[in-house]
Chains A and B, each alone.
Chain A
Amino acid sequence: MEDKSRQLVQMISEMQEEDAVKLAREMLDSGYDPVKLLGHCREAMEAVGKRYEEGEYFLPELMLAGEMLKAIGDMAKPLIKQGAEGAKTVGTIVLGTVQGDLHDIGKNIVTFMLEINGFKVIDLGIDVPVENFIESIKQNKPEVVGLSGFLTLAFDAMKQTIEAIKAAGLRENTKIMIGGGQVDETIKTYTGADAFGLNAMDAVSLCKRWMPA
Chain B
Amino acid sequence: MSTGSAVASASVLYAQRQKRLMDAIELREPDRLPTILFSHFWVARYCGMTCREAMYDYEGLAAAMRKAVVDLEPDGFQPVHALLAFGPTMDILDYKQLEWPGHKGLADNVPFQYLDAPYMTAEEYEEYVLDPTGFMLHKYMPRVAGALEPLSQLPMYPGVLHTRIIQSMEAYARPEVRRALETLIKAGEEMQKMRAVQSRLIQELKDLGFPSAAHGTSHAPFDVAADYLRGSKGAMLDLFRNKDRLLNLLDRLTVLIPLSAIAAAKAAGGNMVFIPLHWGLDGFMSPKQFTTFFWPQFQKVLLALIDAGLYPHVLWEGDCTSRLDVIKDVPAGKCVYFFERTDMFKAKEALRGTVCIRGNVPASMLIAGTPNEIREYCKKLFDVVGDGGGFILDAGVGVPDEAKAENVQAMYGYAKECVY
CB–CB B400/A152 < 8 A: yes
Q: Which residues of A contact B368 (CB under 8 A)?
A: 155, 186-187, 189-190
CB–CB A17/B240 < 8 A: yes
B386 to chain A, nearest CB (A): 23
In the assembled complex, B410 has its CB within 8 A of some CB on chain A: no
Q: Which residues of A contact B283 (CB under 8 A)?
A: 58-59, 199
CB–CB A151/B113 < 8 A: yes
In the assembled complex, A127 has its CB within 8 A of some CB on chain B: yes
Which residues, 149 to 201 on A, are CB-close (under 8 Å) to B? 151-153, 155-156, 182-187, 189-190, 198-199
In the assembled complex, A60 has its CB within 8 A of some CB on chain B: yes
In the assembled complex, A63 has its CB within 8 A of some CB on chain B: yes
Give the number of chain A interface residues (Cβ < 8 Å): 32
CB–CB B285/A127 < 8 A: no
Of B241, B319, B397, B402, which one neighbours A153 at CB under 8 angstroms?
B402
CB–CB A58/B363 < 8 A: no
In the assembled complex, B115 has its CB within 8 A of some CB on chain A: yes
In the assembled complex, B13 has its CB within 8 A of some CB on chain A: no
In the assembled complex, B107 has its CB within 8 A of some CB on chain A: yes
A151 to chain B, nearest CB (A): 7
Q: Closest A residue to B106 by CB, please name it.
A: A100
B30-38, B230-238, B349-357 - interface stretch: B230-238
Q: Do A152 and B237 contact each other (CB < 8 Å), given the known contacts A100-B110, A184-B362?
A: no
Q: Which residues of B contact A152 (CB under 8 A)?
A: 363, 367, 400-402
B277 to chain A, nearest CB (A): 15
Q: Closest B residue to A159 by CB, please name it.
A: B368
CB–CB A59/B284 < 8 A: yes
- Considering the chains assembled together, what is the distance between the CA atoms of A151 and B289 in angstroms? 26
CB–CB B364/A60 < 8 A: no
Q: Do A186 and B362 contact each other (CB < 8 Å), given the known contacts A58-B284, A60-B285, A152-B400?
A: yes
Q: Do A17 and B241 contact each other (CB < 8 Å), given the known contacts A59-B285, A152-B367?
A: yes
Q: Do A184 and B364 contact each other (CB < 8 Å), given the known contacts A102-B113, A102-B115, A127-B105?
A: yes
Q: Closest A residue to B101 by CB, please name it.
A: A100
In the assembled complex, A211 has its CB within 8 A of some CB on chain B: no
CB–CB A64/B240 < 8 A: yes
- Considering the chains assembled together, what is the distance between the CA atoms of A152 and B362 in angstroms? 11
- Considering the chains assembled together, what is the distance between the CA atoms of A185 and B400 in angstroms? 17
In the assembled complex, A75 has its CB within 8 A of some CB on chain B: no
CB–CB A64/B364 < 8 A: no
- Considering the chains assembled together, what is the distance between the CA atoms of A208 and B362 in angstroms? 29
Q: Which residues of A contact B396 (CB under 8 A)?
A: 182
B324-359 to A contact mask, C-beta < 8 Å, 1/0: 000000000000000011000000000000000000
Interface size class for chain B?
35 or more
- Considering the chains assembled together, what is the distance between the CA atoms of A184 and B319 in angstroms? 13
Q: Which residues of B contact A64 (CB under 8 A)?
A: 236-237, 240
- Considering the chains assembled together, what is the distance between the CA atoms of A185 and B368 in angstroms? 11
Which residues, 304 to 320 on B, are CB-close (under 8 Å) to A? 319
CB–CB B285/A190 < 8 A: no
In the assembled complex, B369 has its CB within 8 A of some CB on chain A: yes
- Considering the chains assembled together, what is the distance between the CA atoms of A152 and B110 in angstroms? 10
- Considering the chains assembled together, what is the distance between the CA atoms of A67 and B233 in angstroms? 10
In the assembled complex, B111 has its CB within 8 A of some CB on chain A: yes
Q: Closest B residue to A16 by CB, please name it.
A: B240
In the assembled complex, A11 has its CB within 8 A of some CB on chain B: no
- Considering the chains assembled together, what is the distance between the CA atoms of A195 and B76 in angstroms? 38
B223-263 to A contact mask, C-beta < 8 Å, 1/0: 00000000011001101110000000000000000000000
Which residues, 57 to 85 on A, are CB-close (under 8 Å) to B? 57-61, 63-64, 67
Q: Which residues of B contact A17 (CB under 8 A)?
A: 240-241
- Considering the chains assembled together, what is the distance between the CA atoms of A184 and B99 in angstroms? 27
Q: Which residues of A contact B401 (CB under 8 A)?
A: 152-153
Q: Which of B115, B364, B368 has the most CB of A within 10 A?
A: B364
In the assembled complex, A103 has its CB within 8 A of some CB on chain B: yes
B358 to chain A, nearest CB (A): 17
Q: Closest A residue to B107 by CB, please name it.
A: A100
- Considering the chains assembled together, what is the distance between the CA atoms of A103 and B241 in angstroms? 25
CB–CB A67/B364 < 8 A: no
In the assembled complex, B286 has its CB within 8 A of some CB on chain A: yes
Q: Do A58 and B113 contact each other (CB < 8 Å), given the known contacts A63-B237, A186-B364?
A: no
Of A60, A102, A156, which one neighbours B240 at CB under 8 angstroms?
A60
CB–CB A156/B106 < 8 A: no
B229 to chain A, nearest CB (A): 16
In the assembled complex, A206 has its CB within 8 A of some CB on chain B: no
CB–CB B107/A63 < 8 A: no
Of B237, B285, B402, which one neighbours A58 at CB under 8 angstroms?
B285
CB–CB B111/A153 < 8 A: yes
In the assembled complex, B303 has its CB within 8 A of some CB on chain A: no
CB–CB B364/A190 < 8 A: yes
B95 to chain A, nearest CB (A): 15
In the assembled complex, A90 has its CB within 8 A of some CB on chain B: no
B346-388 to A contact mask, C-beta < 8 Å, 1/0: 0000000000000000111101110000000000000000000
What are 27 sample pairs from A and B whose C-beta atoms fall under 8 A apart?
A: A58-B289, A59-B284, A60-B239, A61-B286, A63-B236, A63-B237, A64-B237, A64-B240, A67-B237, A102-B115, A103-B113, A105-B116, A152-B400, A152-B401, A152-B402, A153-B110, A155-B364, A155-B368, A182-B340, A182-B396, A182-B397, A182-B400, A184-B364, A186-B365, A186-B368, A186-B369, A190-B367
The chain A residues found within 8 Å of chain B, CB to CB, are 15, 17, 56-61, 63-64, 67, 100-103, 105, 127, 151-153, 155-156, 182-187, 189-190, 198-199
Instruction: A60-B286, A105-B116, A105-B232 are known; give 11 further A-B pairs, CB within 8 A.
Output: A56-B286, A60-B240, A151-B111, A151-B113, A152-B367, A152-B400, A153-B111, A155-B367, A184-B364, A186-B365, A187-B364
